[in-house]
Amino acid sequence: MARDETARDSESETALLDRRSYLRLAGAAAAAVAGAGMATSTEAASNDTITVPAGETRRISVGDGETFENKLLDVTADGASVVITAFADDFTIRNVGIKGVHPGEENFLKLCVPSEDATGLVENVYLGDGAVAGSKGGIYVHYDPGHEGELTFRQVNVAHSSNNGLYGSSPGHRGQSGLVHVEDSYFYSNNVSNVRLGSPGGTSHVRNTTIHVDDSVNGCDTNCSSPGAVNARGVWAWDGPVALHDCDVRTGSHGSALATRDGGSIEENDSRIGSEADTSPPEGVPTSAEEAAGASSSGSDDSPAAATEVRDGF
C-alpha cells in the first residue's frame, strides 16, 4: 500500500471546513450497477457462515464476472482474519458481514477494476466491528494491476480503521483514470480519512452518505510518519474532482470534515457539514454482520482457507 504521508495536516492539504451549504434538500438516487461473476475461491452457496479458526486468515479471491454474496464471516476467534481480494472486471460483492474485530495486518477488502469499460460493485457489506488500534483494516483500491474502470460502494458500513476507512485515491495518484463512487453508506471514526477519493479521469462521487467521527477514533498505524496520531478527515480528495451530494459529515475536533490535496477538489451539493450533520446511518445500511449477511444461516464452514490464488505483498 502507498505510504500515507502523515496523520497530520500537511502544507499541501487544503481544509474545506468553511465551504458549508447546510441545505436540507432531499436528493440522491442510487445508480444501478450490474455485476456477476466467477471467483477463484468462493465457498459453496449453502455455506452461509464461514468461521475462521484462531490465528488463521481466510483469503477469498473474486475473479472476472464473479458474485460473492450472502456470507457471514466470523473472525471472533483470537487472531482470526479475512481478506477479500477482487482485481477483476464486472465483479459483485454483496450481502457480506464480517463479525469480530479484524487484526488489521491487511485490509478487509483489496479491490480494483482493471479494464476501462468494466465495473465493480460492493453492496450491503458490514465492516463495522472495526480493526485493532494501530493497524490497517478498511478498504483499499489498488493501483496494481491498475484501476481504469468504475467501482461503486453502496450500503457499506466501515468503522474504526486506523489507516483510512476507504482508501480509494491510490490509483488516481499514479495517473490511472478509474473512478470510485460511494452511495448510501456509513463511515464511523476511521482515522487518516473516512473516504479518500480522486482520479484525473473524471469525477468520483459521494452520495447520501454519513461520516461521523468521535472520541472513539483510533490512532494511525506505523505506516504514518507520526504513529498514533489522529487526523480523521471526513472526505479527502486527491488528484481530481469529487462531488458530494446530500451527505452528512461531522468530524468535530478530530480532523477536517472536507480536505483536498495534490489537485483534488470537492463540490458540495445539498450537504450538511459539522454541527448541522445528521449522524445516523442512512436507511438500508447494515448495522451488524448478521444483518448484512442475512439472519438465517443454513450451515457453518470451519475448513481451512481454500484460495486457489493468493497474492502476497499487497
Q: Which of 257, 221, 222, 258 is closest to 238 using CA atoms?
A: 258
Please give the Cα distance from 82 to 162 (Å, whole number): 17
Which residue range is the domain that position 142 belongs to? 105-296
Q: Which of 44, 37, 39 is closest to 66 using CA atoms?
A: 37
Q: Mean pLDDT check: name the lowest of 106-115, 273-282, 298-307.
A: 298-307
Q: Kindly state whether residue 137 falls inside one of the protein's structural domains.
A: yes
Q: Are 239 and 264 in contact (CB under 8 A)?
A: yes
How many structural domains are present in the chain? 1
Q: Kindly state whether residue 237 falls inside one of the protein's structural domains.
A: yes
Per-residue b/e over 145-182, b at no fewer than 16 CB within 10 Å?
ebbbbbbbbbbbbbbbbbbbbbbbbbbbbeebbbbbbb
Q: Which of 258, 247, 236 is closest to 208 using CA atoms?
A: 247
Q: Which of 48, 37, 127 is closest to 86 using CA atoms?
A: 37
Q: Kindly state whether residue 21 falls inside one of the protein's structural domains.
A: no
Q: Kindly state whether residue 147 falls inside one of the protein's structural domains.
A: yes
Q: In sequence order, what are the beta bridge partners of 211?
A: 187, 249
Most confident of 104-108, 120-124, 161-165: 120-124
Please give the Cα distance from 190 to 192 (Å, whole number): 7
Q: Kindly state whether residue 59 falls inside one of the protein's structural domains.
A: no
Q: Are 269 and 246 in contact (CB under 8 A)?
A: yes
pLDDT of residue 224: 73
Q: Which of 64, 10, 2 is closest to 226 using CA atoms?
A: 10
Q: Mean pLDDT check: name the lowest of 7-21, 104-118, 283-297.
A: 7-21
Please give the Cα distance from 161 to 3 (Å, whole number): 15
On whether the pTM is more than 0.85, the answer is no
Q: Kindly state whether residue 134 falls inside one of the protein's structural domains.
A: yes
pLDDT of residue 14: 64
Residue 26 banded pLDDT, cuts 50, 70, 90: very low
- 238 pLDDT above the threshold of 80: yes
**3-class DSSP assignment, residue 173:** helix
Q: Kindly state whether residue 175 falls inside one of the protein's structural domains.
A: yes
Cα-atom radius of gyration of the chain, to the nearest Å? 18
CA-based angle 76:222:205, to the nearest 5?
75
Q: Kindly state whether residue 149 falls inside one of the protein's structural domains.
A: yes
